[in-house]
Amino acid sequence: EAGVVQSPRYKIIEKKQPVAFWCNPISGHNTLYWYLQNLGQGPELLIRYENEEAVDDSQLPKDRFSAERLKGVDSTLKIQPAELGDSAVYLCASSPLPGHQETQYFGPGTRLLVL
Amino acid sequence: ELKVEQNPLFLSMQEGKNYTIYCNYSTTSDRLYWYRQDPGKSLESLFVLLSNGAVKQEGRLMASLDTKARLSTLHITAAVHDLSATYFCAVDAVYSGAGSYQLTFGKGTKLSVIP
């Protein structure tokens, strides 16, 4: 069974430029998460989707970050414009059922460097 | 605000030795996860602990949960080099900002097993 797929794996951009990350969850997983992981820290939740609906985006900085999950499968996370402090690893995870009682399966992440 | 504290944050141990990683958390929860992360790789689920007194073992690793003390431990027995990685605990609890359940991760314990 294929795991969570993310692309690109690495991205280098200049500040103020836009950037987008893509995630394909495990087939059949209805719940999708985006996390931010800073160096030396644990992941922090940005947004959680149940199918197409964003059910928890309380920690997403909405002034520059946006996300979508059209058709309830793949998802895209966008930053516009990027700032130096956005340099981090962006992780996507999925779980099979709604709610909080399921193990989350993580993708390899996209490592972003903003210059 | 939920706090999840791991200690130690860095651990260098010799092969064949035993050691314990501690995970303390600040709110009521009866669901705790342990993940492993190799450098540049994704997080891999190790254990899910679902109730007070839960104990899980896999190979040289054993995890336990004491919900009354708000403490989980990850015990390493007779360490080998392949166990070198960063280990995260994550607590499943209601995040006050959204009123929904979220995983809150500790900062991770970077384990180096040396011959």
Chain B residues close to A59, C-beta within 8 Å: 95, 97-98
Say whether pLDDT at B61 is over 70. Answer: yes
Fold of A5-114: Immunoglobulin-like (2.60.40)
CB contacts under 8 A, A 9-38 vs B, are: none
Q: Are A105 and A92 in contact (CB under 8 A)?
A: no
Which three-class secondary structure state does DSSP give residue B31? Answer: coil
Say whether pLDDT at B96 is over 80. Answer: no
Q: Are B9 and B108 in contact (CB under 8 A)?
A: yes
Distance from C-alpha of B83 to C-alpha of B45, rounded to nearest angstrom:
14
Do residue B105 and residue A43 have CB atoms under 8 angstroms apart?
Answer: yes
Q: Are A69 and A49 in contact (CB under 8 A)?
A: yes
Inform me whether the C-beta atom of residue A71 falls under 8 Å from chain B C-beta atoms.
no
Pairing of strands A53-56, A44-50: antiparallel
- Over range B76-104, report the average pLDDT: 87
Write the DSSP assignment of A80-105 as a string of letters. SS--GGG-EEEEEEEESSSSS-S--E
Q: What confidence tens digit (pLDDT) does each residue in A6-34 have? A: 999 999 999 999 999 999 999 999 999 99
The confidence score (pLDDT) of residue A100 equals 58
Sketch out chain B's domains with CATH numbers.
4-114 (2.60.40.10)
- Over range B88-96, report the average pLDDT: 85
Chain B residues close to A56, C-beta within 8 Å: 95, 98, 100, 102
Q: B65 burial class (0-12, 13-18, 19+ CB within 10 angstroms)?
A: buried
Inform me whether the C-beta atom of residue A45 falls under 8 Å from chain B C-beta atoms.
yes
Inform me whether the C-beta atom of residue B115 falls under 8 Å from chain A C-beta atoms.
no
- Over range A89-109, report the average pLDDT: 86
Residue A33 CA: distances (Å) to CA of A8, A23, B11: 17, 10, 30
Residue B19 pLDDT level (bands cut at 50, 70, 90)? very high
Chain B residues close to A106, C-beta within 8 Å: 35, 42-44
- List the domain boundaries for chain A: 5-114
Distance from C-alpha of A111 to C-alpha of B38, rounded to nearest angstrom:
15
Distance from C-alpha of A76 to C-alpha of A49, rounded to nearest angstrom:
12
The confidence score (pLDDT) of residue B102 equals 84
Chain B residues close to A101, C-beta within 8 Å: 31, 92
What residue type is assigned to position B82 of the chain?
D
Mutating which of A4, A34, A58, A92 best tests the B interface, going by the most B Cβ atoms within 10 A?
Answer: A58
| Pick from B36, B54, B53: nearest CA to B45 | B36
**What is chain A's Cα-based Rg?**
13
The chain-wide mean pLDDT, for chain A, equals 93
The total of other beta-carbon atoms located within 10 Å of residue B98's CB is 15
The confidence score (pLDDT) of residue A1 equals 66
Distance from C-alpha of B58 to C-alpha of A64, rounded to nearest angstrom:
43
The confidence score (pLDDT) of residue B94 equals 77
- Over range B31-40, report the average pLDDT: 93
The confidence score (pLDDT) of residue A71 equals 86
Q: Are A93 and A105 in contact (CB under 8 A)?
A: yes
Do residue B98 and residue A91 have CB atoms under 8 angstroms apart?
Answer: no
The chain-wide mean pLDDT, for chain B, equals 92
Q: How far apart are the first and last CA of chain A?
A: 37
- Which pair of tokens denotes residue A111? 């490592």
Query: Which residue matches tokens 């007779």?
Result: B78
